[in-house]
């Protein structure tokens, strides 16, 4: 529970933007729907082809994941097209930013840095400089004294964000708000922030891995769920252009391992899922997942138990998506279930194979979206066989340079998955 003091404001102070009288949709010019490319192609793709003029983007992620690093790099790259970029920090001193900039090799004259937390001052600098991009790092630090309360409180965040978004709409400059994330994964502060902005990007990944996945959770100007993969190096973030290769780089076809083709927005991605099943040493068996949907594991275990006849009741089960990527698609069910079965029976799955399918409560294997793109990615990376739901078979058979093995239920999958 957080106490909030209600302070009525005069209506004129509230942020608003006025686009004039209502007009027919066909008559509205598209000239202000221009895109500004950043030159970092993974980042541009997530945005749907660069920043849209006047758009507001929220970048969230755990502390230390690389939000500030990425935004400083993006601000730098954007100056190559000749515009200025204004990076406002409320968290670090100018010296700290300068140190980071040296480390990243960032020194453009058109990249301006300001250490500022006062909203009015930020708005004034942005209006005066009219930069091609404004980055506010972070929105939790921005403060409007008239509102009272502490920086980062719900009302402060809401009002400050509203004014910055309003500035974006009025001036046409793209505005990036960097936001903190709480342990539970929600962007700290009001959830309403996610509704207010046009695009929400979320940095995922394990701090122990060098790889970071930037995911578009919401995008009014592109496809949601689009992902970009970056690697954190000693001189900043670098794009990873062939992420499938990366995520299956440790795949050796051992016991408990399955390769699953996932879809990140418009791009297929192969991910290795690993499972370890071992007899529980304490009363209640442990069920742990990393990088996967934790609510789906008990369901898959129940299906394997009741429909597949595997007695998993007294077993600890650990499942992991390799490389720090997050997989939360039902299409990964079959691969996860078979990786668990493989570890339990101590038999490896069919070599150089991928597994695609949603598992239903009746043990049936259900059709998935984008089956063609998933299989094509497996072909590209040299896989020889794809286990698929029956429904997806007719569209693919004969068109792909790999064996298609249709499976209609979990029993068939368990029988056929070791392959010959």
Judging by beta carbons within 10 Å of its beta carbon (0-12, 13-18, 19+), is residue 6 exposed, middle or buried? exposed
* Residue in the structure block whose two tokens are 């793109």: 373
Q: In the set 55, 69, 274, 392, which binds ligand TYD (CB under 6 A)? A: 69
Angle at 229 between CA 227 and CA 233, to 5 degrees: 155
Q: Counting runs of H as helices and runs of E as strands, what totals does the chain give? A: 12, 20
Give min distance, CB of 50 to ligand TYD, in A: 22
| CB nearer to ligand TYD: pick between 104 and 255 | 104
Residue 201 near residue 46, CB atoms below 8 Å: yes
> Residue 69 binds what, of Mg ion, ligand TYD, none (CB under 5 to 8 Å, by partner type)?
ligand TYD
Site size toward ligand TYD (CB under 6 A) is 15
- Minimum Å distance from CB 277 to ligand TYD? 35
Residue closer to Mg ion by CB (options 68, 153) is 68
Q: Which residue stretch of 61-69, 180-188, 332-340, 407-415 sits at the interface with Mg ion (rule: CB under 5 A)?
A: 61-69
Interface positions, 142-171, toward ligand TYD (CB under 6 A): none
> Which of residues 41, 235, 241, 369 is near ligand TYD by CB under 6 A?
235
Alpha-carbon gap, residue 164 to 102, rounded angstroms: 29
Binding at 63: pick from ligand TYD, Mg ion, none (beta carbon under 5-8 Å per type): ligand TYD
With CA atoms as reference, report the closest residue to 161 among 107, 112, 198: 198
Supply φ then ψ for residue 337, to 5 degrees.
-60, -45
- Among ligand TYD, Mg ion, none, the one that 93 touches (CB under a kind-dependent 5 to 8 A) is none
From the list 179, 236, 348, 406, which residue makes contact with ligand TYD (rule: CB under 6 A)?
236
Of 148, 141, 135, 151, which Cα lies nearest the Cα of 59? Answer: 135
The nearest distance, CB 217 to Mg ion, in angstroms, is 19
68 binds Mg ion (CB under 5 A): yes
Binding mask 97-126 for ligand TYD (x = CB under 6 A): ---x--xx----------------------
Shortest Å, Cβ 101 to Mg ion: 14
Whose structure tokens read 């990249």?
111
CA distances from 179 to 25, 59, 119, 188, 203 (A): 34, 6, 16, 7, 11
Out of 38, 68, 117, 257, name the contact with ligand TYD by CB under 6 A. 68
**Cis peptide leading into residue 138 (ω within 30°):** yes
Angstrom CA distances, 355 to 83, 175, 197, 300, 332, stand at 47, 41, 37, 15, 8
User: Which listed option, ligand TYD, Mg ion, none, makes contact with residue 184 (CB within 5 to 8 Å by class)?
Assistant: none
Which range binds ligand TYD by CB under 6 A, 50-58, 96-104, 106-114, 247-255?
96-104
Which of 232/270 has CB closer to ligand TYD?
A: 232
The one of Mg ion, ligand TYD, none whose footprint includes residue 234, by CB under 5 to 8 A per kind, is ligand TYD
Do 232 and 214 touch, CB atoms closer than 8 A? no
> Which position among 36, 40, 65, 359 is part of the footprint of ligand TYD (CB under 6 A)?
65
Q: What distance in Å separates the CA atoms of residue 397 and residue 404, rounded to the nearest whole number?
A: 7
User: How far is Cα 4 from Cα 148, in angstroms, rounded to an integer?
Assistant: 10
Chain residues that interact with ligand TYD, rule: CB under 6 A: 61, 63-69, 100, 103-104, 232, 234-236
Chain residues that interact with Mg ion, rule: CB under 5 A: 68
């Amino acid at each position: 529970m957080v106490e909030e003091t209600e302070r009525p404001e005069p209506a004129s102070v509230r942020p608003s933007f006025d686009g004039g009288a209502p007009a027919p949709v066909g008559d509205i010019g598209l000239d202000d729907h221009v895109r500004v490319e950043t030159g970092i192609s993974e980042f541009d793709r997530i945005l749907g082809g660069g920043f849209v003029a006047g758009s507001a983007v929220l970048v969230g992620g755990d502390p230390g994941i690389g939000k500030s690093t990425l935004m400083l790099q993006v601000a730098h790259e954007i100056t190559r097209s000749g515009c200025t970029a204004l990076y406002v920090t409320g968290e670090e001193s100018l010296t700290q930013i300068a140190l980071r900039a040296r480390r990243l090799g960032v020194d453009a004259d058109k990249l301006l840095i300001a250490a500022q937390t006062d909203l009015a001052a930020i708005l004034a600098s942005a209006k005066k400089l009219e930069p091609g991009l404004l980055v506010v790092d972070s929105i939790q630090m921005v403060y409007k004294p008239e509102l009272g309360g502490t920086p980062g409180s719900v009302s402060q965040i809401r009002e400050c964000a509203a004014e910055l978004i309003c500035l974006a709409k009025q001036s046409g400059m793209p505005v990036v708000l960097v936001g903190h994330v709480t342990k539970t994964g929600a962007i700290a502060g009001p959830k309403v922030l996610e509704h207010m902005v046009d695009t929400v990007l979320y940095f995922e990944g394990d701090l122990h891995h060098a790889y970071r996945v930037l995911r578009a959770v919401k995008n009014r100007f592109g496809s949601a769920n689009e992902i970009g993969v970056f690697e954190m190096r000693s001189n900043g973030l670098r794009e990873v252009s062939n992420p499938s290769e990366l995520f299956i780089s440790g795949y050796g076809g051992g016991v408990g391992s399955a390769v699953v083709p996932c879809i990140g927005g418009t791009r297929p991605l192969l991910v290795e899922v690993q499972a370890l099943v071992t007899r529980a040493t304490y009363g209640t068996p442990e069920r742990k997942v990393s990088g996967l949907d934790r609510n789906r594991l008990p369901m898959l275990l129940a299906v394997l138990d009741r429909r597949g006849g595997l007695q998993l009741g007294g077993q600890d089960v650990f499942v992991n998506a390799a490389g720090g990527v997050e997989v939360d698609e039902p299409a990964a069910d079959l691969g996860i279930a078979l990786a668990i079965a493989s570890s339990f029976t101590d038999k490896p799955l069919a070599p150089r194979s991928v597994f695609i399918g949603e598992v239903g409560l009746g043990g049936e294997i259900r059709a998935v979206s984008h089956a063609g793109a998933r299989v094509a990615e497996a072909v590209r990376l040299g896989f020889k066989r794809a286990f698929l739901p029956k429904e997806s078979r007719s569209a693919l058979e004969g068109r792909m340079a790999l064996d298609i093995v249709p499976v209609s239920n979990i029993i068939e999958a368990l029988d056929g998955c070791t392959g010959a």
